[in-house]
Amino acid sequence: MSAEATNPEARSEARPEIRRRGRTRLDLRRLGRAALLGPTSRDRLPDAIGHVAEAHRAHHPDADLSILRRAYVLAESSHRGQMRKSGEPYITHPLAVTLILAELGAETTTLTASLLHDTVEDTEVTLDQVREEFGDEVCFIVDGVTKVEKIDYGAAAEPETFRKMLVATGNDVRVMSIKLADRLHNMRTLGVMRPDKQARIAKVTRDVLIPLAERLGVQALKTELEDLVFAILHPEEYEHTRALIAAHAGERDPLPAIAESVRVVLREAGIHAEVLVRPRHFVSVHRISRKRGELRGSDFGRLLILVGENADCYGVLGELHTCFTPVVSEFKDFIAVPKFNLYQSLHTAFATSDGHVAEVIVRTRQMHRVAEAGVVALGNPYATAAATAAAAAPGATAGSAEACADPYEERVDPTRPGWLSRLLDWQQSAPDPDTFWSVLRAELAQDREITVFRADGGAPATISLPGGASCIDAAYAQYGEAAHGCIGARVNGRLTSLTSRLSDGDTVQLLLAHDASSGPSADWLEHAHTPAARIAISSWLKAHPDGAAATTTAARAPLSVVGARGGGGNAVADLPDATVRLAGCCTPVPPDAVAGFVVRGGAVTVHRVQCAAVAQMRSLGRTSVAVHWRATADCRVTLLAESFGRPHLLADLTEAIAREGVEVVSATVEPPVEQRVRHSYTLQLPDATGLPALMRAMRDVPGVYDVSRA
């Protein structure tokens, strides 16, 4: 099935800057003949890669094309005599893949490796030859996209090939760029294969390659792959969508007139902008038809507004929302908060006076390049300043300039996204190909990513997780298998269960037990979203079929230690001869803001104003009594200490309290629950100003992870 039959509009709008130059779509059969004929002169580029050179020079005017000539000569000679199933010379495939990448703006090393990407797999060329001729960088990329031998791996060849490519992508994202372009050209020419094989390849493309294109931000490839897969796997819905688009083509499109109105508004505001109409691709039309039902003329496309600077994006937004009626629910700011795949834009929508609703994307031209080409637009993200300087030196080749480091050593890449780092981590724990393949698809099905912050200040300071992740996922992301002993978490300063879902920007403190016998429970699997967590939990449960070691001691009743009880401390009520009592539910101390209420017997009970009992008293119509503190500094307070269970904990805590010169009025220790123990202390302090120091001293006792006021 050809791409032309699927969606010519989508391709033309995906690369508007290229279409404006007037280049026509290539005739691969003509290229095949040119490939066999070769160049007319030793000093000229072969005619077959003239289009590649033209597209490459459009993005990189100073690129040295000599290495492309050498790569083409090696590829053409090694593939000579091989034919594709379509009957074309095989060299047309690496040429087409290289042209796709050249039009996206890939740099010279990527194009060189693209021309050679099938030589090691399908010809007698070896990796050593590629390294000797083109350098380590090109060799590493070619090796990364080379499939593993089916004779060695059998049915596991496909998942192991993807594992190999993903590991290589972790060191060099250009490996996956070539794989995506390779799959796009194969999908364009898939019509020559049997229907069952078409469906199998389309499903792998849908489940693995399209999500990878989305994560790497290569929207130009992702949208065309989506349409090609849609046509194969859902032919009836595809035909229905094609009919909708064909019917719309015969009607008046309101978007050009709306675009002109926007141009006038921006011109009058002094904002230099390019306003384009972007037709939706097939899958996008299908999705919006399912969402809205009957489609209107403006639903078949969107307005794209390109400006020079970030500030201009917000200027455009202000003019649109001032001069038109904005649809507030459609506004999204992906400039201030970029997507995890590098995507940045402002999204909005407005209604015109005649009832049409136009969706608008506002971005700078650089944002547009990244939105379309994703990681391909980064060029060589691994080049050092020295390599860049070497590339600019006369006579330097792409192979020598860009081989700035040993490509087989793992690089510290600031552009590596969190999802890829997670994938590289958990795949090491999934040696079984079937497990890897199924978990990979599940991982790629997650379409959102969040970032949470570590409360302990450790490195790294942030943890990247898929949307919907829980504290369990954060625990395994931070501690690995040590997270088996996690017994709780504190999110944004508040204690919560491990099964709680996390939101973007949360601060997480994870609480680990000191008991080596601790382990996860089976219900953790229901709340674990990351493969790393699920694999680790499943492995532990398989190794411990009876669960964690049972507690040898029977549950005990709460242990209480009671001393002399006091009364109202130094609180005084403005009620003559009234007895004053400090409320046990909140134990106020100076200088807390307090309120008093008369209870049975005429006594006044004093609460902190934040206490829930105050709101309840007022709702019952009770009148509060003014209360103030005496000049004396002594006070009574109740503290809650939460800790891991261990021997001598009560003794250590009471010793810490005594060292601060504080009297224990009463103490209660609850039985352990999941190795956590809760202590409640009512204390008489000689001076209220010593309360913060007392709480710090109690927190410093080993095993205590929280001390708070009652």
* Cβ partners under 8 Å of residue 600, min gap 6: none
What SS3 state is found at 323? helix
Do 146 and 119 form a contact (C-beta atoms < 8 A)? no
- CA-based Rg of the chain, rounded to a whole angstrom? 34
End-to-end CA distance of the chain: 70
Report yes or no: 365 and 308 within 8 Å, Cβ to Cβ: yes
Distant-in-sequence contacts of 11-20, Cβ < 8 A, 24+ apart: 11/224, 13/276, 13/278, 13/279, 14/219, 14/220, 14/223, 14/224, 14/281, 14/372, 15/103, 15/104, 15/220, 15/372, 16/276, 18/55, 18/58, 18/103
Q: What is the length of the chain?
A: 710
> Which residues lie closer than 8 Å to 142 by C-beta, 6 or more apart?
113, 116, 117, 119, 120, 127, 130
The structure tokens 């050209």 sit at 185
Judge contact between 510 and 489, C-beta under 8 A. Answer: yes
121 part of the active site: yes
Bridge partners of 349, per DSSP, are 359
Spatial contact of 298 and 275, defined as CB atoms under 8 Å apart: no
The rounded distance, in Å, linking the Cα atoms of 378 and 394 is 24
Of the candidates 88, 89, 37, 47, the residue with the CA atom closest to the CA atom of residue 69: 47
Q: Where are the beta strands (DSSP E) in 352-423?
A: 357-364
The CB density around residue 263, as the number of other CB atoms within 10 Å, is: 14
Q: Which residue has the tokens 């010379």?
A: 89
**Strand ranges of the sheet holding 704-709, from the earlier edge strand across to the other edge:** 559-562, 663-669, 676-685, 635-644, 704-709
Of the candidates 169, 155, 171, the residue with the CA atom closest to the CA atom of residue 212? 169
- The verdict on whether omega for the bond into residue 61 sits within 30 degrees of 0, i.e. cis, is no
Options 47, 54, 64, 122, the catalytic residue: 122
- Active-site residue flag, 523: no
Question: Which tokens in the block code for residue 152?
Answer: 């060695």
Catalytic residue among 9, 17, 64, 121: 121
Q: Are 440 and 208 in contact (CB under 8 A)?
A: yes
Tokens of 269: 């505001």
Catalytic positions, written as ranges: 121-122
